[in-house]
Structure 1
Amino acid sequence: MDWRSVTFDWNRARAFLVTAEEGSLSAAARALRLAQPTLGRQVEALEAELGLALFERTGRGLRLTPAGHELLEHARLMGEGARALSLAAWGQSEALEGEVAISASDAYASYLLPPILARLHRAEPRIRIEVVVSNDLSDLARREADIAVRNIRPTEPDLIARKVREAAARLYAAPGYLDGLGRPERGKGFQAAEFIEIDGQGSLMGLLNAQGLGLSEANFPYRCRNFTVMWEMVRRGMGIGILDDRIGDADPMVERAVPGFEPIAFPIWLVAHRDIARSRRLRVVFDALAEGLA
């Protein structure tokens, strides 16, 4: 490669890329943790180096010029290369010190991770853990998290995964709530029961009716897309909910609600980026999670 053909400062190209993607100098300055005047000078210096106007100054801020649009994709490729280099360098680190971000659902983050992380901290106190609570899939390639606890196997080629166990979800309710129902048997007596739906598609009713409970929408007066909140509603005797039996069976304020109910099986996967998996620090956290969740 003829390095003499590169006539601009790469750091200024980053300033251009982030400004274009964020839409304004102020937003880009926040993203890069720079002062806005400093960032503005970097963009202006790049324009001078290239001999091109990359942005038009309008009343509402900045707008890419045709030349800016044409160069933007090249700048994005540079950004992806820089991110990949940073990711690979981070993954080579052998130090058992630093931060690891773990993504997990609200239920697992609330009820299963704390004792695992406490044991990990006692063993490796220099590792700092960030818990990223999300019921959506975190983008590990973009470092939204370093390790993710998921219920589906990843398909991305740059991710590695370990299936730690096959879990089971069961129905639970507060004892007082079941007493009020007369403690019905499976397949009968649940027409008056109230259940708490956990998604927007009504999937719980379908799962339960497949096992002969004969429920209708009238049996679902509550809908909650947060497992932790749903579980608190169950514990307070507001209805019947479904959750991983490792959580439900360990809670003294609830009990299994439907005798003979066939649990819903689902897998638990630990997922990490392939490059990051070479980090000793991340391997220690990954193995601790695998052991604790298994």
Structure 2
Amino acid sequence: MDSSEHTTRTGRDWSAIAFDWNRARAFLVTAEEGSLSAAARALKMSQPTLGRQVTGFEEELGVTLFDRGPRGLSLTPTGLALLEHMRRMGEAALEVTLTASGQAQALDGLVSVSVSELVAANYMPPVLKALRETAPQLQVELVVTNDPSDLRRREADVAIRSFRPTQPDLIARKLCEEEVHLYAEKDYAEGLAPDLSNAAFIGYDTGPRLRQALAALGLDVAPERFLTLSNSHLVVMDLVRAGLGVGILPDRVAARDGDLVRVGSYPPLSHALWAVAHHELRTSARIRVLFDALVQNITS
């Protein structure tokens, strides 16, 4: 039979797919769990059975997917190259199952988003208002923390971060570029020297990260000049508003407060805001609608 006889209207030759999905799943779970024993527990099968499926998958493809050493399994370059393709297949298979049961399209239930205090207070209200219109039965939990939540451990379904994640199993979308400047309360700002040499600083800590950012602006600020410290972004903003010193604030947030003015003729610092989700984004409608609302309502 000519190979063209296997080709469908879409141009795909489905006869070229010659492996068992159960074996492919065995490879995928083993790669993600990191060991045969952990994968066997996840799939609720015996370890020898799982091992045979993984070996059978390698034989079907004619490649070696794992190096087997005294310290356990490690993916070969070929295994690494195939892993993302297998993940997409796994997500597609899960989506078929969820769609069949109606779960994938459900826009009710609970979904969580991890955000910093400033983002929660200043950026989330329009997001939540939009969600109330498009998914009125959806329950949204704001996990308010100034430390990044671990999406891989399901500490939240979606997160807004000021950095792009490097983990390959996380999905990221850039929301906006955010500029930050030095701000002070109006009356306090009037008494400051042009080089801010007489300014007290308000910060989140006296660690090197903030001082390095200020050094990039040409400001060498000693730790003892941070006279007030708080790990709360909202408290820092309130302290700046109270005239207790100079602080670094996002322009978009500070612009909403008529008592705050930019101080010093320094270039802006900037960082991007990213919406980040686990790959379940592709199969869960409730996570997708939340993610889309973030993208549509938090923009530059």
Structure 2 length-normalised TM: 0.64
Shift of 1:119: 2.8
**In the alignment, which of 124, 129, 140 is matched to residue 113 of structure 1?**
124
Amino acid at match of 2:267: E
1:190-216 per-residue CA deviation (whole Å, 9 max, x = no partner) reads 111011122341433332233233433
Alpha carbons 1:192, 1:219 under 8 Å: kept: no
Residue in 2 aligned with 1:275?
Answer: 280
Amino acid at match of 2:268: P
Question: What is the alpha-carbon distance in structure 2 between the residues aligned to residue 77 and residue 251 of structure 1?
Answer: 57
1:133 paired with 2:133, answer no
SS in 1 for 2:271: strand
Aligned residues: 213
Alpha carbons 2:109, 2:139 under 8 Å: kept: yes
**In the alignment, which of 41, 54, 61 is matched to residue 78 of structure 1?**
41
Question: What is the alpha-carbon distance in structure 2 between the residues aligned to residue 217 and residue 289 of structure 1?
Answer: 37
Structure 1 length-normalised TM: 0.65
Question: What is the alpha-carbon distance in structure 2 between the residues aligned to residue 275 and residue 76 of structure 1?
Answer: 19
Amino acid at match of 2:209: S
Shift of 1:236: 1.0
Change (3 A) 1:80 1:210: farther
Question: What is the alpha-carbon distance in structure 1 between the residues aligned to residue 253 and residue 40 of structure 2?
Answer: 45
1:227 paired with 2:233, answer yes
Q: How does 1:93-242 map to 2 (within 5 A)?
A: 93-181=104-192, 184-185=193-194, 188=195, 190-242=196-248
Q: Which runs of 5+ in 2 are unaligned?
A: 1-35, 45-89
Alpha carbons 2:206, 2:223 under 8 Å: kept: no
1:212-238 per-residue CA deviation (whole Å, 9 max, x = no partner) reads 334333421122222111111111111
1:285 paired with 2:290, answer yes
Residue in 2 aligned with 1:45?
Answer: none
Alpha carbons 1:191, 1:219 under 8 Å: kept: no
SS in 1 for 2:248: strand
Percent identical residues: 38
Change (3 A) 1:223 1:77: farther
Change (3 A) 1:80 1:153: farther
1:150-179 per-residue CA deviation (whole Å, 9 max, x = no partner) reads 111112221111111221111111112112
Shift of 1:90: 7.1
Alpha carbons 1:200, 1:225 under 8 Å: kept: no
1:263 paired with 2:263, answer no
* 4+ residue segments displaced more than 6 Å: 87-91
Change (3 A) 1:205 1:125: same
Residue in 2 aligned with 1:31?
Answer: none
Shift of 1:244: 1.7
Amino acid at match of 2:210: L
